[in-house]
Chain A
Amino acid sequence: MLRKFNTNRTLADNIKLGGLTAFVAGMVNVASIMIFFAFTSNITGHIAVLAEEISKGNWYQVAIVFGWIFLFFSGSFLANFIVINLGNRKRSMAHSIPLVLEIICLSVVGIYGQFFYQETLTETELLLALMLFAMGLQNGLTASISNFAIKTTHLTGLMTDLGILFSMFTKENYRRNQELRDKAKLLLVIVSSYLVGGIVAGSIYLKASFLVFHIVSAILLFIVVYDYYKLKSKIRVKKKKLFSIRSKFHAALDNEQVSYTKREQPAEG
């Protein structure tokens, strides 16, 4: 899911990564609305609110919303910064670090919320800031490694693309285009996963409350571990192949030596 980069990624890689991360984004967004009364995975609304607060002259709220937007931006910046600077040497690790950071942020929200949250405004603002940073990290990572094919935290652009694709499919030649069909499949998976994630978070929130964030962290951890496991098994298969080639080579070499010795023996006698 995470190892492959840009054009090396298959549709299956993108569907797995897009589906799981969109599910996470849906859960986080719905949980944040229900607990904190603010969105955390989409920025369009925050930009509109920022404009509204500027026009009203509410400078404290302007600062808060500006800070949230800036943190989402910083998360996306950091994720791509890690990918492009560490990616050439240790790609798997570089692609996992943003997710690990996201897990840390969301676990802090979950643990703090469960044990220490007193519902003060400052706490609410700080926890929302962490969640926006985490969503920035996730969106930056998925967009960066998939060559901008996967964006999972907001669906405006995605719905636009789906609308365009579905109108293209009214023509036979576009319907036969495998690339377009794959894209539509990926977008549909992302939308449905986001929706299902939201529904799950909404349904379990009343019982689970801040545990929602631990479930989200567990899903993200699964992505990282799954990729690590895949990488390890790939290395094991490669090692096995190399070992069998080497063994065959040695065996061939031994045979060659035996036949050489056999050829040499009569001359000595």
Chain B
Amino acid sequence: MKTKAGFLRRNKRSLAYMAFFIIGALVFSLLIVQDKSPDQKIIGKWREVSWEYEKVNRKKAGSNMPKKQITDDVKHELAKNLIIHRAETWEFLPDGKLLLYQADGTKTQLKWNLKGRGHILKLRMQDDVTEYYDLSDLNREKMVLYFDVEIQAKGIVRMKFEKIT
């Protein structure tokens, strides 16, 4: 009788452990089917809505720095050394290509990848120049990217996009 009780207790414990790991796997599966992955969400055409300073190093930038909104002139100055220079519409294709459209109709082709848990956007030019952007927000309508600007402003810039298609 004692042995049978011990056997049942041991089996109960093993079952509890198995259940724990199965529940863990189930929680993972349930969560993952709730939402699309960031590399699926990002596919499509996005239009730049605004450029804003998220943080500014005022000591380096000087006291006459604008508070938040970045004007077009400053934006072009900040972006002149970036891959994304003067792009207004970004089109992410599923095969890892990114097309940047400028207002004058010119088109640039890049490669894109997401890193980490999908929170880092890596952009690569044909000549292997690489830039990384923080992808802080991504949903059906909106995408927010952050990047550190090293020139002039020395701060963090927030780029907002809205989805076109």
Q: A residues bordering B, Cβ < 8 Å?
A: 36-38, 49, 53, 56, 58-67, 70, 74, 119-122, 124-125
In the A-B complex, the 6 residue pairs with the smallest Cβ-Cβ separation, listed nearest first, are: A63-B31, A37-B116, A60-B35, A59-B34, A63-B32, A59-B35
**Alpha-carbon gap, A59 to B117, bound state (A):** 12
Cβ of A62 to closest chain B Cβ, rounded Å? 5
Q: Do A121 and B31 have beta carbons less than 8 Å apart?
A: no
**Alpha-carbon gap, A122 to B120, bound state (A):** 14
Task: Verify if B113 is at the interface (C-beta below 8 Å from A).
Answer: yes
**A70: nearest chain-B partner, CB-CB:** B24
Q: Do B35 and A38 have beta carbons less than 8 Å apart?
A: no
Hey, which chain A residues are within 8 Å of B66, CB to CB?
none
Q: Do A60 and B113 have beta carbons less than 8 Å apart?
A: no
**B122: nearest chain-A partner, CB-CB:** A119
Which stretch in B36-44, B55-63, B75-83, B155-163 binds the other chain? B36-44
CB<8 Å pairs between A and B, sample of 16: A38-B115, A38-B116, A38-B117, A49-B117, A59-B35, A60-B36, A63-B32, A63-B35, A64-B32, A66-B31, A119-B122, A121-B37, A121-B38, A122-B37, A124-B114, A124-B116
**Alpha-carbon gap, A37 to B137, bound state (A):** 17
Q: Do A121 and B28 have beta carbons less than 8 Å apart?
A: no
**B32: nearest chain-A partner, CB-CB:** A63
Interface size class on chain B is 20 to 34
**A50: nearest chain-B partner, CB-CB:** B117
Task: Verify if B27 is at the interface (C-beta below 8 Å from A).
Answer: yes
Q: Do B35 and A120 have beta carbons less than 8 Å apart?
A: no
**A61: nearest chain-B partner, CB-CB:** B117
- Chain B contact residues: helix, strand, loop or mixed: mixed
**Alpha-carbon gap, A205 to B141, bound state (A):** 38
Q: Do B118 and A121 have beta carbons less than 8 Å apart?
A: yes
**Alpha-carbon gap, A22 to B133, bound state (A):** 31
Cβ of A126 to closest chain B Cβ, rounded Å? 12
Q: Do B116 and A62 have beta carbons less than 8 Å apart?
A: no
Q: Do A36 and B113 have beta carbons less than 8 Å apart?
A: no
**A58: nearest chain-B partner, CB-CB:** B35
Q: Do A60 and B116 have beta carbons less than 8 Å apart?
A: no
Cβ of A38 to closest chain B Cβ, rounded Å? 4
Hey, which chain A residues are within 8 Å of B116, CB to CB?
36-38, 124
Q: Of B31, B39, B137, which is within 8 A of A120 by CB?
A: B39
**Alpha-carbon gap, A4 to B14, bound state (A):** 28
Q: Do B118 and A60 have beta carbons less than 8 Å apart?
A: yes
Q: Of A56, A58, A63, which is within 8 A of B28 by CB?
A: A63
Q: Do B117 and A65 have beta carbons less than 8 Å apart?
A: yes
**B28: nearest chain-A partner, CB-CB:** A67
Cβ of B42 to closest chain A Cβ, rounded Å? 10
**Alpha-carbon gap, A121 to B24, bound state (A):** 22
List residues 12-67 of chain B with CB under 8 A from any CB of chain A: 21, 24, 27-28, 31-32, 34-39
**Alpha-carbon gap, A63 to B38, bound state (A):** 12
Cβ of A48 to closest chain B Cβ, rounded Å? 13
Cβ of B96 to closest chain A Cβ, rounded Å? 8
**Alpha-carbon gap, A58 to B113, bound state (A):** 19
Q: Do B115 and A36 have beta carbons less than 8 Å apart?
A: yes
Hey, which chain A residues are within 8 Å of B117, CB to CB?
38, 49, 53, 61, 64-65, 125
Q: Of A37, A56, A59, A64, which is within 8 A of B120 by CB?
A: A37
